[in-house]
Structure 1
Amino acid sequence: MIITTSLRENESLIARAQELASELGADYQPRRKLSLSKCLERFGPFYLLYKDRLSFVNTDASELTFHPDTAVLRLKAPHDALISLLGQSPKSILDTTMGLASDSLVMAAVGNRVTALESQEVIFQVVSRGLATYQTYNKQIEKAMRSIKAVKSDSLTFLKYQTDHSFDIIYADPMFSETIKESENLNAIKPLANGSRLTREWLDEAKRVGRERIIIKAHFRDSVFEELGFERQVRPNQKLHYGVMELIDTEY
C-alpha cells in the first residue's frame, strides 16, 4: 500500500506521511505534483494525507474520507428514529458496524458511551483517525467524536471475547442488500466494506452480550428482520427500516 500527500505539501506534511507510512506498514511516495489519476496509474489505490485528514483513493477515483455532516444534519432534525429506539437514559452501546461512524456519532452525541467496531483496515484507519482529529465549531459533535472508542475487529470475534451482558445495546448496520440511489456518500466505502450478512451465530453472541436490546438497520426489502426474529419498525416512505429485539421488558 502507498501513502502520499496532497499537492499542498510541505516539510511537516511529508514528515507526517513518512511517519504514518511506517506505522501502517505502507510505502511513502512523493507526490511530485502528480494528478490523482496519474497517482492511480502509478500506485494503484492509495492513502492520501492532507493537512487535516487522511483519505483513501479507490481504483475508480472515489475518495473515502471522514466528515460528520450526516450526523450533524440528523441531530438538527426534530426527530431521529434511532435516538428514539435507544431510550432516554445514557447507555453503553456496541456499534458492531462502524463504517463512516454516522450512527456512532449520533448515539454518542446524545450522551451514550459508544464502542465502534470496524473489520476493514482502510475504513478503520480513515474513520478512526477522523474521529480523533477532526475539528469543528460544533463542540457537541467534537466531544462525541473524541468519546467514541474505535476498535479494529470483526464483530463476531469481538463479541465472543465479551462477558455476558457487558453492553446495554448492541447495534448493527451492515451494508445494504440493495442499492439506495440517494446514498451517494456511500460510493467510496462500498468497494472497501465488509458485505457479510448477520448470522444466527452473530445473533446468539449479541443476545448474550447485550443487556437491554439489539437494534439493526437494513433496507426495507431485506428479509433479515424476519429471518432473525426482529420486530420491524416500519418507517413510512423511508427505504431504511430498523429492527428491534428486546432482551428485557423495557419501555423506550
Structure 2
Amino acid sequence: MRVPLAVTTSARPKPQLRAQAEAASRQWGVPLFMRHPKEGISEWLEERADALLIFGHDGVTLWDREGHHGFHGGMAHLRRLRLATGEPDTFVRVTELRKGDAVLDCTLGLAQDALVASLAVGPQGRVVGVEKSLPLAALAAEGLKRYELGPDSCHIDVVHADAHAYLRTLPARSFDVVVFDPMFAKPRKAQPGFDVLRRFADHAPLTPEALQEARRVTRRWVVVKGARYSDDLKKLGLKPEPSSRHTDVDWGRIGPAEVG
C-alpha cells in the first residue's frame, strides 16, 4: 500500500544515521524503509511512497517524484547574519519582536521566518512553528535538530497540526506575536526549495475565523503576509504596512481581540 511519507537513509549509512532515521520513523508515525547497498529510491517513489525523508551524511532531504530539497538556512541564514550586525529586517520590524517574546508561526513551511524570530527573541524567548503538512513538518523538525542556532537564539518547537485547530487549544494571550504566511495563489519568484514547499504545503487561504482565533491568542500583534497587487490582505480587513516599493509582498497586522 502506498504511503504519504516514509523515512530512509542514504546508501551504506553509519549506525548514527540509521538510529536517527529509526527515531524519526517512530516520532512521525511513518514507515522506515531500509536501503540495501546501491539501492535507489526511484522505484519506491513510484510504487511505495509519495515522499521520502532521507537522512544522509549531508543532512536531511525531502524527496518526491518531481525533485528534492535539503533542509538549510537559505535566505534566513543571511537575514540572521544581517540582524546580528544591527541591520533592519522587515519581518522583525512589522512584528516588533523583542528579546524574550513568545512567537507562534502558524505556517512554518521551511522555517525561514521562524529561524529569524529565534534570533530576534533571543535565548530567553520562545518560537513555536505549526505546519499542517506532515512531510514539511518532519523536514523542518529533523532539519532544525541539525541546524546550529547558536547561543543567541532560542529553540524552535515544531507542531504538526492544522493551525486553526491548534489555536483553539491555546489559552488567551499566550503568545506575544502570531504570524501567518499563507501560500500565495499565484507562484512568485523565490529561493530554491520553494517548488517543494508549494507541492506539499496547504493551499487553503487564511480564514477570518482563524484570524479572529489568533487575535484571541496574541498579546501584541497578529501579522499576515500577502502578495502585493492582490486582495489577500483586504479580504481579511487588513491594510498593508509601509514597505519598500521593490518588494512583491505586503505585511498586514492587527492587534488582540477583546476576550470576554
After superposition, the Cα gap between the structure-2 partners of 1:184 and 1:89, relative to the gap in structure 1 and judged at 3 Å, is closer
1:126 aligned onto 2:135: no
Distance 1:182 1:89 in 2: 28
After superposition, the Cα gap between the structure-2 partners of 1:19 and 1:205, relative to the gap in structure 1 and judged at 3 Å, is closer
Structure 1 residue aligned with 2:10: 6
Whether the 8 Å CA contact 2:107–2:129 is kept in 1: the answer is yes
Superposition TM-score, scaled by structure 2 size: 0.83
Structure 2 residue aligned with 1:98: 108
Distance 2:52 2:36 in 1: 11
- Percent identity between matched residues is 24
Whether the 8 Å CA contact 1:113–1:147 is kept in 2: the answer is yes
Distance 1:238 1:175 in 2: 17
Structure 1 residue aligned with 2:74: 69
| Deviation of 1:196 (Å) | 1.1
1:58 aligned onto 2:73: no
Q: Deviations over 1:180-223 (max 9, x none)?
A: 12333311121111111010110111111111111111211331
After superposition, the Cα gap between the structure-2 partners of 1:22 and 1:105, relative to the gap in structure 1 and judged at 3 Å, is closer
Superposition TM-score, scaled by structure 1 size: 0.85
Whether the 8 Å CA contact 1:5–1:31 is kept in 2: the answer is no
Whether the 8 Å CA contact 2:178–2:222 is kept in 1: the answer is yes
After superposition, the Cα gap between the structure-2 partners of 1:14 and 1:163, relative to the gap in structure 1 and judged at 3 Å, is closer
Residue in structure 2 matching 1:201, options 205, 209, 214: 209
After superposition, the Cα gap between the structure-2 partners of 1:181 and 1:85, relative to the gap in structure 1 and judged at 3 Å, is closer
Residue in structure 2 matching 1:186, options 191, 194, 207: 194
Structure 1, unaligned runs of 5 or more: none
Which amino acid in the other structure matches residue 86 of structure 1? T
Whether the 8 Å CA contact 2:46–2:65 is kept in 1: the answer is no
> 14-23 or 109-118, which moves further after superposition?
14-23
Which amino acid in the other structure matches residue 62 of structure 2? F
Secondary structure of 1:64's partner? strand
Structure 1 residue aligned with 2:33: 28
Whether the 8 Å CA contact 1:218–1:242 is kept in 2: the answer is yes
Distance 1:149 1:217 in 2: 21
| Deviation of 1:80 (Å) | 1.0
Structure 2, unaligned runs of 5 or more: none
| Deviation of 1:26 (Å) | 0.4
Distance 2:162 2:54 in 1: 25
How many aligned residue pairs are there? 242
Whether the 8 Å CA contact 1:65–1:127 is kept in 2: the answer is no
After superposition, the Cα gap between the structure-2 partners of 1:169 and 1:18, relative to the gap in structure 1 and judged at 3 Å, is closer
Distance 1:76 1:110 in 2: 11
After superposition, the Cα gap between the structure-2 partners of 1:182 and 1:152, relative to the gap in structure 1 and judged at 3 Å, is closer
Distance 2:236 2:24 in 1: 42
Structure 2 residue aligned with 1:17: 21
